[in-house]
A and B are shown apart, each in its own frame.
Chain A
């Protein structure tokens, strides 16, 4: 219960960050990806700022040995790039450029009331479900 509450508050702050930085604005995302046109570099600062804050706190937390509300820090098992990673990132990048949405901002802006965002989220969730139930066994 305490863990869920912490996660909820972190989700709120994460969402606020996405809205303030305009990561939740597809036009802003496409403006960032449009390097040969009227380039808007703002989102590079969003990522830079988020990385700067997280990189420091990540290491400080690791020094404590264990998380405050869990028994251990959980990290991904794989550490080398492989084909699924690269192909997946490529497919994700095309989808990101096409709509201007990545998963977090899509969930945040689903609350803005535009039905096309709901369509995006529905398609994204459906694809994830299909992948996790049907295609998963092909590589892990």
Chain B
């Protein structure tokens, strides 16, 4: 096994910002910042409940927009998958996160931090499934 492209500092700083943002949502709004949960629930909510969810999702998108406009050379993005693969992946991610009540943020960050048995189990399963998938189906 060899380590390739290892970027420990940006990983630690970026991770801390993710944890800080999730803590802001929790401390101020009393909600867990799981992106698939916020996106899914936004589809069935209205008024104030829709407003904060839509605002959070807008914040994610605007962060991406600001980064690519202001610092285009610093944004790393490399997508190998073609249309067929991304469409299938999108359907699986949409379905899987709703059935499984969470994704990398809701289970992997918030749930694991709370030592939720459900989230620890889900995180182990989606990590393992992702690794097996990359091993068999993803060209590297």
Contacts from A to B (Cβ < 8 Å)? 1, 3-28, 30-31, 33-43, 45-55, 57-58, 60-61, 64, 66-76, 78-81, 84-104, 106-114, 116-117, 119-132, 139
Cβ of A17 and Cβ of B16 under 8 Å apart? yes
Closest approach, in angstroms, between the C-beta of A1 and any C-beta of chain B? 8
Q: Which of B77, B78, B95, B112 contacts A91 (CB 8 A)?
A: B95
Given contacts A95-B89, A125-B39, contact A19 B25 (CB under 8 A): no
Closest approach, in angstroms, between the C-beta of A48 and any C-beta of chain B? 7
Cβ of B61 and Cβ of A111 under 8 Å apart? yes
Cβ of B75 and Cβ of A112 under 8 Å apart? yes
For the residues of A in contact with B, the DSSP-based class is: helix
Cβ of B27 and Cβ of A67 under 8 Å apart? yes
Cβ of A13 and Cβ of B20 under 8 Å apart? yes
Q: Determine the chain A residues whose CB is within 8 A of the CB of B54 once the complex forms.
A: 4
Q: Determine the chain B residues whose CB is within 8 A of the CB of A119 once the complex forms.
A: 83, 86-87, 90
Q: Which of B40, B48, B83, B125 contacts A3 (CB 8 A)?
A: B48
Cβ of B86 and Cβ of A123 under 8 Å apart? yes
